[in-house]
Amino acid sequence: MYEQVAHSLLNDILNRIKPEICQQDLRHFYTRLGANFYAIHSLFEKLYGERDDFEQQMLSLVETMAKRYIQRSDELRQRDLQREKDHNWFLSQKWVGMALYCKGFADDLPGLRGRLNYFQELGVNLIHVMPIMPCPEGSSDGGYAVSDFQKIDPRIGTLQNLNDLAGEMRQREILLVLDVVVNHTSNRHYWAEQARSGNPVYQDYYYTFTTRSVPDMFEQSMPEIFPENAPGNFTWDEEMGRWVMTVFNDYQWDLNYSNPAVFIEMLNIILFWANQGADILRLDAVAFLWKKIGSTCQNEREAHLILQVLKDCCQVTAPGVLFIAEAIVAPGEVSKYFGEDAVIAKECEIAYNATLMALLWDAVATKNTRLLNQGIRSLPIKLERATWLNYVRCHDDIGLGFDDRDILHADYHPLEHRKFLIDYFTGRFAESHARGLPFGQNHKTGDARISGSLASLVGLEYALELGDERAIDDAIKLILLLHSLIMSFGGIPLLYYGDALGTLNDDSYRDDPEKKGDTRWVHRPAIDWQKAARRNTPGSIEYKIFSALKRMIAVRKEIAVFADFNNRELLDVQNPHLFVFGRYPLHHQQGHVLVVANFNRKPQHLAFDDLGTWKPRHGRPVDLYKGESPDIFNRSLVIPGFSFYWLEVS
Ligand code: GLC
Ligand code: GLC
């Protein structure tokens, strides 16, 4: 878009830009800057246009983008160009991800590099390495309390190690995902130290107050994220003599994005990691980026504007790099993080599908799919060039973030139903085999979330203790059932390290004073590679899970309609234990696939009459996963307990 005011400002900026920048070959940089400048300018103006130094800040923004472009390697620039050509590359069904802690998975970065075969054995070709930047000992929040954004924790490795890893991953065609913790810093970050010592420039990087009056106003509408360990949203810093906003733990200081200097610093850091070879950056806690008195300080419009400028700027410097939004918020809010418009208001290409995740767990507990079906039906349509990250477990807790209206629609009482789910997963409910732990219990609101490893939550730990073969079998079936859905739903499936091996809860965190107050550590294991070797021993639990997932991944990659082009139709079927959806090809191709999942322990039937146009045309449909045809009885498909089908129906 050509608009006079923005363009004449751009001319000014290009005149004033530093000579060392001008001398470079910046052709691609300038065409992209020209294309995005109008959007960048108007968004930046909405956020910071009132300031006297606005034009100076714009200049500094453009210089930041240009400097990072100059530092970008030829190899990465080439990849940018390829991806600009094939801009929907990430919607393909060929991608399958895994999230892991470097330390827990392989000790350090060289160790991780040494284990790349493991991913290829399983079929995983996208690896999210959770934060590897330095954090103060004892107050790290598992890597999310960063004290230096451009270094690597020396215990994990060096920047050179990371570059080597990224290089080898590129050769193997495995994508690298890294975190940028955009919402807050550690209280030991340089900026925080400066603020503490009284430097007003850095005090303005955070929200600090000499009295309680503003904090008290904020508190009236802000929920508590960690009510047990870090109640309230402000912390008194004795040395600074000020209150500072700390939405998460008291040692995580929220950054003040109403200050453009903060925005530019964080853009610089995002581009730094893009230049280290990350294909995708996971932006942590993005819902929290803007704070406003009288609001929950989540999902504010300005938080979206910030993400839009970050995206536009990243497209100028490193257009091949994608963003993941980590926004674990209400179903109606999540899809807004894709942006509202593919050209002028784009945000993150990928977002965590926390809605599907929580709904799947509801179906596990209730053994029916009433809420799952209802919740998916109310999931808003997303932009075309956007996709979900579908997951069953991750390093965080499971929040029961359903919409109350959906719970009512499914004929439950919201409060009672949530209580049932907590009781179920913490094993308090009589018939439950789950071994989860409560997380973030809020005695004021009655709220709680759930920690626990996948295997322990679906009853494997319980079954092993009892030596109950049938229960062991059920737990394994549930693990596979849940994965069959994240692999077929549409989006990038993200496995959690350890889950492909049936890793149980790890109670050792209780002996560590840094960890014992945070139950999420129960599901952040160190992989036992001797046990992992059993994945090659037929008959072992590790083998049963690993080999099945390996097959599932291989089959997924061959099913073209599993790519995410919003080509999914949810089917309304009579049987309340089933979750059924169809994946259809675009442009009248062949290859419709019907996905059927049974959350009940007993076999269920799916009447052909429920299937409408999805009714199998000729004879018996074939399940692409097993390669066999399911049983048919009385014009119904028979679906064994805790099982799924991926049926080819045309
Ligand atoms: C994100 C992380 C979580 C962390 C929080 C605060 O939600 O996933 O682990 O505690 O941000 O940084
Ligand atoms: C994230 C999520 C919240 C989660 C927390 C810690 O910011 O919004 O749901 O519980 O981090 O795990």
Write out 221-262 in H/E/C secondary structure: CCCCCCCCCCCCCEEEECCCCEEEECCCCCCEEEECCCCHHH
Ligand 2 atom at minimal distance to the Cα of residue 520: 12
pLDDT of residue 506: 98
Task: Give yes or no for residue 618 having a pLDDT over 80.
Answer: no
| CA of residue 629 to ligand 2 center, whole Å | 42
- Band of residue 617 on the pLDDT scale cut at 50, 70, 90: confident
**Two tokens at 247?**
């939405």
- Among left, alpha and beta (phi > 0; psi -120 to 50; other), residue 329 is beta
| Average pLDDT, integer, range 375-399 | 94
Confidence (pLDDT) at 35: 95
Return the ligand 1 atom nearest residue 145 CA. Answer: 12
Q: Is the CB of 285 under 6 A from ligand 2?
A: yes
Question: Residue 157 — pLDDT band, cuts 50, 70, 90?
Answer: very high
pLDDT for 229 equals 87
- Please tell me if the CB atom of residue 248 comes closer than 6 angstroms to any atom of ligand 1: yes
| Cα radius of gyration (the chain) | 25
- Mean predicted confidence (pLDDT) in 539-547: 98
Compute the distance from residue 398 Cα to the ligand 2 centre, in Å: 9
Please give the pLDDT value at position 445: 82
Q: 498 CA to middle of ligand 1, Å?
A: 20
Distance in angstroms (rounded) separating the CA atoms of residues 500 and 544: 9
469-488 and 541-558 helices, crossing angle to 10°: 20
- Which residue's CA is the nearest one to ligand 2's atom 10? 397
- pLDDT of 344 > 80? The answer is no
Each residue of 13-60: pLDDT tens digit? Answer: 999 988 888 878 899 999 999 999 999 999 999 999 999 999 999 999
SS3 string, 117-186, reads HHHHHHCCCEEEECCCCCCCCCCCHHHCCCCCCCCCCCCCCCHHHHHHHHHHHHHCCCEEEEEECCCEEE
Question: How far, in Å, CA of 257 to CA of 630, rounded?
Answer: 56
Any ligand 1 atom below 6 A from CB of 284? yes
Task: Name the band, by pLDDT with cuts 50, 70 and 90, for residue 384.
Answer: confident
Phi, psi (rounded to 5 degrees) for 569 = -125, 120
Output the six-digit token pair for 557.
């990659």
Report pLDDT for 443.
Answer: 86
Positions annotated as catalytic residues are 284, 326
> From atom 3 of ligand 1, which residue's Cα is the shortest distance away?
396
Pairwise CA distance, residues 597 & 577, whole Å: 8
Q: Is 142 in the pocket of ligand 1 (CB under 6 A)?
A: yes
Q: Tell me what the mean pLDDT of segment 643-648 comes to.
A: 97
Nearest residue CA, atom 8 of ligand 2? 328
Which ligand neighbours the alpha carbon of 287 most closely? 2
**What are 80-111's pLDDT values in tens digits?**
999 999 999 999 999 999 999 999 999 999 99
Using one digit for the tens of pLDDT, what is the confidence trace for 458-512?
999 999 999 999 999 999 999 999 999 999 999 999 999 999 999 999 999 999 9
Give the residue whose CA is nearest to atom 9 of ligand 2: 328
Name which residue sits closest to atom 6 of ligand 2, judged by CA: 396
Q: Does residue 230's CB lie within 6 angstroms of at least one atom of ligand 2?
A: no
Ligand 1 pocket check for 226: Cβ under 6 Å: no
pLDDT of residue 129: 98
The length of the chain, given as a count of residues? 650
Q: Whose CA is nearest to atom 2 of ligand 2?
A: 328
**144 CA → ligand 1 middle, Å:** 6
Least confident of 68-72, 362-366, 632-636: 632-636
Q: What is the pLDDT of residue 530?
A: 97
- CB of 396 within 6 A of ligand 2: the answer is yes
Q: Is the pLDDT of residue 444 over 90?
A: no
Closest by Cα among 530, 546, 529, 528 to 538: 546
The pLDDT of residue 348 is 97
Ligand 1 geometric centre to CA of 48 (Å): 28
Nearest bound ligand to CA 449?
2
Contact present, 208 and 242 (Cβ < 8 Å): yes
Mean pLDDT rounded to a whole number for the chain: 96
For the stretch 164-205, pLDDT in tens is: 999 999 999 999 999 999 999 999 999 999 999 999 999 999
Burial class (CB in 10 A: 0-12, 13-18, 19+), 183: buried
What residue segments make up the domains of the chain, in order of their start?
A: 569-649
What pLDDT was estimated at residue 511? 97
Q: Is the CB of 279 under 6 A from ligand 1?
A: no
Q: What pLDDT sits at residue 319?
A: 98
Angle at 401 between CA 523 and CA 521, to 5 degrees: 15
What's the CATH number for 569-649?
A: 2.60.40.1180
Q: For 214-237, what is each residue's pLDDT tens digit?
A: 999 999 999 999 998 899 999 999
Q: What pLDDT is recorded for position 476?
A: 98
Ligand 1 binding pocket includes 285 (Cβ within 6 Å): yes
